[in-house]
Structure 1
Amino acid sequence: MRPMLATRGTTVPTGAAWLHEVKWDGMRVLVRVAGGRLQLFSRNENDVTIAYPELAGLVEALGDHEVLLDGEVVAFAGGVPSFSALADRMHVRQPARARSLAESNPVTLIVFDLLELDGEDFTGRPLSQRRTALEGLGLAGPHWQVPATYDDGAMLLEATAAQGLEGVVSKKRSSAYHPGRRSKDWLKFPHRASGSYVVGGWRVETGSTTRIGAVLVGVPAEGGLLYRGRVGSGIAGRSGQQLLELLRPLETDGSPFVDEVPRVDAQGTTWLRPEVVVEIAALNVTSGGRLRQPAYLGVREDLDPADLTEPGEGADAG
């Protein structure tokens, strides 16, 4: 199963028909607890349980209940959710390394929906009923929580901006849960221009013959990628080395971009098969579709290029 997704909104809705939640800057997951076992699945249905050992206690916290939950894995930096902090956790597949990082850089599971409870399918029930049942599970622990909802979306949007949070998601209380679908019953209002893009090429760092200095990114289009720009900021040190290790096996002779890449960007670029998705923050997008002042945040191992159904669409809370 894949999670239900939100549509980008223009104006935060008002009235009793809607509730509003904080939009979390993390990795969307579906969480199954059954038979005394915890499993976490990313948006592209990969099992990522091994990366987050600190969540194992959720089995005991649920007692005899078996559930399927929808939520977000979040890592905090300076008290604020940070995708950059989470990126260090997402790629880990070695249990010992995961346990070490769980101590130094722990995550929190933010649970905001209940899809199954003790063998009963809740997806056809209205959100208001799903939330009541979810809150009744008493999930408040050292690494998991059920966040509050709010009646005043405009107030929440203003408060999240002041606190440096990612934004707001507004949901109809009557909405059913539609797995894998993007719905206007859920609307998202992010504060910053951050999204996911596919890497189509890489360039060496100035003065080096081996270190990565920049990547060329785009969004999926028929036959390849549409070019969105060159990203160099944020690619350094260990994160840059980890990225290069992922890209090296994908090197190829031809450009994956279906439109023209400016010569200044194409010169010296090593082209890649478009398979790696990365998260990019940018000031905004120019009228020509180029990212302004982009910065690399990390690899989105929870996403495949096929998951990017909208330009720059990430794996956020909807």
Structure 2
Amino acid sequence: MKLQPLTPFEPVLAYGIPSGSQWIAQIKWDGVRMLAYYDGTSAELINRRGNRRTLQYPELARPEAYCRAGSVILDGEIIALSGGKPSFHEVMRRDSLKNEAAIAVAVPRVPVLYMVFDILYCNGSWLLDEPLSRRQELLKEHLLPHPHVQQVPSYHDPAQLFSAARKGSLEGIVCKDLNSTYAPGGKDKRWQKLKIISDVTAVAGGVTFRDGQVNALLFGLYDDAGKLHYIGHAGAGRMTVQDWRTLTAQIEGLITERMPFAELPERSKGAVWIKPELVFKLHFLEWNPSGTFRQPVIQAQVGLPPLSCRMDQKS
């Protein structure tokens, strides 16, 4: 593939809905950020960290099947539904697979949708300096009907969409300035995310056991000095019995006498310390004044580097 992978443009966290006619709003999907590349001969799906995921999503591996452009880069989110709503746990059942046979079995069991919200390159021309309004028009012109691909709808009343997302218990919305260009690797206020459900990616530094099996994890985030700070523990979540069994087996090789946290966690009684190598995505209600999270729910284990779990997620 001749096209070089880009680091996607990111929204900043906001706490108020922006005003002005230049703003549109889109649903914030609880899935996996994915860019689709097609250079006219070969194609790749590559996530925000630059990792290839073409094997994991064979139904999306041919962008020419859902985009009429001769060459293209699309930006969007791959989601899987549970109970009619996007579920990060469900999409990770696909994203974490590496074996082709297992992927073939999972394709009909865990169907996915590619929710496309931007087009960055089309027919040999870069669109990064075009305003979002123009990129949206081009995306609409070039996307083809496909059972696993949809263009993300845009709404001109962000407050109304935020209210609807709250009623539907969705993750939140993203507000975008129609005049905004696309800055690869950038992150600024031209795109703003408003969360209904807070989330964090944290590393496990300890576990507790019940009847010989892991039943909860102690989580932390790194500061700029590389110190791991405890943010709370969680045992509730979407993990299955088999997930806990697999996790218990993983833990065996990580147990250590050295506590990895900068300070002794309040929930240290009965804890077994582990090397901070396992990363998880969690939903939670809010941050407590003590710096811990309230009512955390484990969504899934994710293959991210532990040092990417940073304290700046709290701001």
| Unaligned stretches of 5+ residues in structure 2 | 1-5
Residues 194-273 of structure 1 correspond to what in structure 2 (within 5 A)? 194-204=199-209, 206=210, 208-209=211-212, 211-221=213-223, 222-234=225-237, 235-262=239-266, 265-273=267-275
Could you tell me the TM-score, scaled by structure 1's length? 0.89
Task: Say which SS state the counterpart of residue 21 (structure 1) adopts.
Answer: strand
**Residue 37 of structure 1 contacts residue 59 of structure 1 at CA under 8 Å; is this kept in 2?**
no
CA distance in 2, matches of 1:183, 1:309: 18
Partner of 1:289 in structure 2?
291
Q: 1:185 to 1:237 in 2, by over 3 A?
A: same
Q: 1:134 to 1:287 in 2, by over 3 A?
A: same
CA distance in 2, matches of 1:257, 1:87: 28
CA distance in 2, matches of 1:309, 1:121: 33
Question: Given residue 277 of structure 1, which amino acid in structure 2 is its aligned partner?
Answer: V
Q: 1:114 to 1:242 in 2, by over 3 A?
A: farther
Partner of 1:316 in structure 2?
none
**Residue 216 of structure 1 contacts residue 230 of structure 1 at CA under 8 Å; is this kept in 2?**
yes
Question: Given residue 178 of structure 2, which amino acid in structure 1 is its aligned partner?
Answer: R
CA distance in 2, matches of 1:81, 1:146: 16
CA distance in 2, matches of 1:224, 1:309: 10
CA distance in 2, matches of 1:84, 1:295: 11
Is residue 305 of structure 2 the alignment partner of residue 304 of structure 1?
yes
Question: Given residue 184 of structure 1, which amino acid in structure 2 is its aligned partner?
Answer: K
Partner of 2:176 in structure 1?
171
CA distance in 1, matches of 2:249, 2:64: 35
**Residue 13 of structure 1 contacts residue 170 of structure 1 at CA under 8 Å; is this kept in 2?**
yes
Shift of 1:48: 1.6
Shift of 1:25: 0.8
CA distance in 2, matches of 1:274, 1:181: 29
**Residue 223 of structure 1 contacts residue 258 of structure 1 at CA under 8 Å; is this kept in 2?**
no
CA distance in 2, matches of 1:281, 1:34: 37
Question: Given residue 215 of structure 2, which amino acid in structure 1 is its aligned partner?
Answer: G
Q: CA RMSD in A?
A: 2.0
CA distance in 2, matches of 1:231, 1:295: 6
**Residue 32 of structure 2 contacts residue 78 of structure 2 at CA under 8 Å; is this kept in 1?**
yes
Task: Say which SS state the counterpart of residue 11 (structure 2) adopts.
Answer: strand
Is residue 52 of structure 2 the alignment partner of residue 47 of structure 1?
yes
Is residue 56 of structure 2 the alignment partner of residue 56 of structure 1?
no
Task: Say which SS state the counterpart of residue 51 (structure 1) adopts.
Answer: coil
CA distance in 2, matches of 1:8, 1:270: 35
How big is each residue's C-alpha offset from its partner over 1:152-205, in whole Å with a ceiling of 9 and x where there is no partner? 00011011111222211001111111122221111101111222111122222x
Is residue 164 of structure 2 the alignment partner of residue 138 of structure 1?
no
Could you tell me the TM-score, scaled by structure 2's length? 0.90
Question: Given residue 181 of structure 2, which amino acid in structure 1 is its aligned partner?
Answer: A
Shift of 1:244: 3.7
Which 10-residue stretch deviates more, 114-123 or 154-163? 114-123
**Residue 27 of structure 2 contacts residue 173 of structure 2 at CA under 8 Å; is this kept in 1?**
yes
Shift of 1:113: 1.0
CA distance in 1, matches of 2:226, 2:310: 15
**Residue 140 of structure 1 contacts residue 146 of structure 1 at CA under 8 Å; is this kept in 2?**
no
Question: Given residue 256 of structure 2, which amino acid in structure 1 is its aligned partner?
Answer: T
Question: Given residue 46 of structure 1, which amino acid in structure 2 is its aligned partner?
Answer: N
Q: 1:184 to 1:242 in 2, by over 3 A?
A: farther
How big is each residue's C-alpha offset from its partner over 1:66-104, in whole Å with a ceiling of 9 and x where there is no partner? 111111010011211111211211210111111211101
CA distance in 2, matches of 1:193, 1:299: 17
Question: Given residue 164 of structure 2, which amino acid in structure 1 is its aligned partner?
Answer: A
Residues 104-183 of structure 1 correspond to what in structure 2 (within 5 A)? 104-183=109-188
* Aligned residue-pair number: 307
CA distance in 2, matches of 1:64, 1:127: 18
Is residue 29 of structure 2 the alignment partner of residue 24 of structure 1?
yes
**Residue 68 of structure 2 contacts residue 143 of structure 2 at CA under 8 Å; is this kept in 1?**
no
CA distance in 2, matches of 1:242, 1:115: 40
**Residue 170 of structure 2 contacts residue 197 of structure 2 at CA under 8 Å; is this kept in 1?**
no
| Unaligned stretches of 5+ residues in structure 1 | 314-318
Higher relative contact order (CA 8 A, sep 6+): 1
CA distance in 2, matches of 1:228, 1:110: 32
**Residue 44 of structure 1 contacts residue 304 of structure 1 at CA under 8 Å; is this kept in 2?**
no
